[in-house]
Amino acid sequence: MKKLVGFIVLVLWCVSCVQQPVTTPTNSIDAKVTALMEQMTWEEKIGQLHQVEGGQLTPQLYSEIAEGHVGSLLNCPKHLVNDVQRIAMQQSRLGIPLLIARDVIHGFKTIFPIPLGQAATFNPILVEKGAEIAATEASSEGIRLTFAPMIDITRDPRWGRIAESLGEDPYLTSVLGVAMVNGFQGNDLTQPNKVAACAKHFAAYGFSEGGRDYNIADVSEYQLREVILPPFKSVADAGVASFMPSFNEINGVPASANAYLFKQILRGEWGWKGTVISDYFSIKQIKTQGFCETEAQTAALAIETGIDVDMMSYVYHQYLDSLLMDGSVSEKAINDAVRNVLTLKYKLGLFDNPYVDTLAQPIHYDVSHLAVAKQAAIEGAVLLKNEHNLLPLSASQLNSVAIIGPMADAPAEQIGTWCFDAEPSRSITPLMAITKELQDGPIIHYVPGLNYSRDVNTNQIERAVSAAKKSDVVLLFVGEEAILSGEAKCRARLDLPGAQAQLVNAVAATGKPVVMVVMAGRPLCIGNEIANANAVLYTFHGGTMAGPAISDLLFGKSIPSGKLPVTIPQAEGQIPIYYYQKETGRPPHHFTLIDDIPVGAKQTSLGFCTYWLDAGIEPLYPFGFGLSYTQFTYSDIQVSQQNFSATDTLTVTCTITNTGKYNAYEVAQLYVHDPVASLTRPLKQLKGFQKVFIKAGEQEKVSFKLTNNDFAFWNNQNQFVAEPGAFTLYVAPSSDVAKGCSVSVVLE
């Protein structure tokens, strides 16, 4: 039927062409692309699929652009963008503009918190605004394609690229991934301040074995459909302009040669029609992975899989022409790829406006941009501990404050991973911001204690202890440098690097109140250090405005509202650990920890259940957890109907009361549990969240709407179905649903 409809459309289009002069202009992008491709040689077509570095305008690159052998450039600086575009537009035979691409992951000049930190905001409006600002700043330098968002689900904080992720949950990642795409692209890609987004990495990159980058991923079809693919499906439906394959192999097939992913699922099942761009060298690496014998074969595999653009492998550039001649690749595969590339360029309006406005006023670090970045850093900070309501601090009640730690004044490190255009000189550090906040108040005793996070030289620790002893409170800034997370920055041990643990212990031993601020690119297993602190604020890497955001939180100008987008394990041995695990045949109940086992104890099968002898079963902190300076209680959960059908929309309401003394935001989270199904189901799954503002002593009612799809899953027949039966719904402050309230419903 689809072929018949397509044929009819083609016939009608041909008839319309006959009925009017061929010179009549058309607004159809498809028609424009078709007309252009009819004029192109095979060399020019293959050139559109070739993406190379553009940092320097070498004679060779100049020549290749003029000959139409380059379609897009990576990392081309602003002062060269107009030069290379003029070559493409005025000296190449057909005047096809270049696509200028760059990694703009969590900001361009104004740097926002790392994506994991943005996910902690649980605020899609704020996340969308951050991407919009990044697009505005980047496009002012000619960048029209960014390789974000990264929507890989991961359960392993050892993996360095967890910093670029939106956490462990498919629903949260889907919502925030769509928000990022909308921010980057807006409603009209032809607008010069918008950039094309790229969903990466398709797929299962976050499931790299052992948390080791580029490693294999071995996942079941169930896991693929239930956990890994939903965020990609969401952004595909939202109109994301491009996709990027992952580096890893998936069940024995490298992603860049995985026709099941790209042809059957992405193009076939989902009907997505955008542009697929390889990752850096990823096509050439198909040979390294042992999937073929020659580089030429990598090009054939990738183009037939549907990888439209070869980023820096040069194999399309070197081999596609000969592969086409000997029949190893089809004309259709190349033409489809070229069509996708040209379509994206037309959608971006590059044929009409390929140049940068060099006379425009600079828009980097606009006051409004910095304000949004600060708000993102505020809302992305998670309060993990606050003994005796130590926070917020009152400057008027303090005589002196000790600021200690290698992250207190580290402008480059607070920016976080993968920010090529960041300027550390524009970062406002916690030391700077707190010094300004307390300029007319308490005396500040600043001692870094260590020069950087990995420093093992303990010579300064004694000075740090001295500073702590003569202060009313200690603000201790620890964590990891930006370079310790991100691509290829995986860690087997998730402790505080260097001598930081020794620093924490020494300062805590003074008996002075300690507020520990953790600035890191991932969850760290720091239970001992947290136990030694009186209050703990986990801020991830907060970007340009991390300092003012932290200062406002510490001194009560802002109230923490962040929630963990990922589970924090007690120890590395618990990994993978995530909230939506399934029940085992022997659920955890009464168990004996390692130190409670008598010496010489006899073997027994009584009381065996699932847990770790040395860590029990609970994480250090669960997904969705985050304290406030006030307290919230959940009550009176209700549903619009106890029994509902597949065509009904179920409304769930719950009352949240602010029982504390601060006006504050709370993130209410809705979880669903299917206790009996044809395939075993997770103990709970996030299906909704709302960030609500509640004044002290008042209450608000939150409302969620659920449809049949919220109760559905992929069964063994690869069907997405909702099976009739009972479900339990929870509205709670975190995935620890016992602290919320629940209700049962029945799908008939």
In a 13 Å sphere around the CA of 598, the CA atoms on its Cβ side amount to: 5
CA 724-725-729 angle, to 5 degrees, is 115
Cα distances (Å, whole numbers) of residue 122 to 119, 626, 705: 6, 11, 18
Nearest to residue 525, comparing CAs of 491, 484, 487, 563?
491
Q: How many other CB atoms are found less than 10 A from the CB of residue 424?
A: 16
Active site residue 30: no
What are the E-state strand segments in 340-441? Answer: 382-386, 400-404
What is the maximum alpha-carbon separation in the chain?
96
Q: How big is the chain by its Cα radius of gyration, in Å?
A: 28
- The rounded Cα 482 to chain-centroid distance in angstroms is 16
Q: How far apart are CA 245 and CA 252, in angstroms?
A: 15
Q: State both tokens at 270.
A: 């989902």
* Of 169, 279, 308, 421, catalytic: 279
Contact partners, residue 620, CB within 8 Å, separation at least 6 = 525, 526, 527, 530, 568, 569, 570
Distance CA 46, CA 70 (A): 8
Q: What is the DSSP letter of 97?
A: P
Q: Which of 631, 588, 594, 630 is nearest to 610 (CA)?
A: 588
Q: CB–CB of 293/320 below 8 Å? A: no
Phi first, then psi, for residue 193 (nearest 5°) are -100, 15
Q: Which of 696, 387, 439 is nearest to 551 (CA)?
A: 439
Q: How far apart are CA 242 and CA 344, in angstroms?
A: 9
The H-assigned helical ranges of 98-197 are 115-119, 124-139, 170-185
CB count in 10 Å sphere of residue 510: 18
How far is residue 233's CA from residue 228's CA, in Å, rounded to a whole number? 10
Count other Cβ atoms within 10 Å, centred on residue 352. 9
| Contact (CB, 8 A) for 156 and 573 | no
- Which residues on neighbouring strands pair with residue 700, listed in sequence order? 656
> Where are the extended beta strands (E) located within 36-143?
50-53, 72-74, 99-102
Give me the torsion for CA of 717, 722, 723, 729, rounded to 10°.
Answer: 140
Closest CA relative to residue 177, chosen from 114, 138, 131, 221: 131
Taking the CA atoms of residue 729, residue 730, residue 734 and residue 738 in that order, the dihedral angle to the nearest 10 degrees is -130
CA distances from 634 to 22, 353, 382, 584, 745 (A): 68, 54, 20, 29, 19
Degrees to nearest 5, angle at CA 632 with 627 and 635: 135
What does DSSP assign to residue 56?
S
Question: 27 CB contacts (<8 Å, ≥6 apart)?
Answer: none
Pair of tokens at residue 209: 């074995």
Active site residues: 279
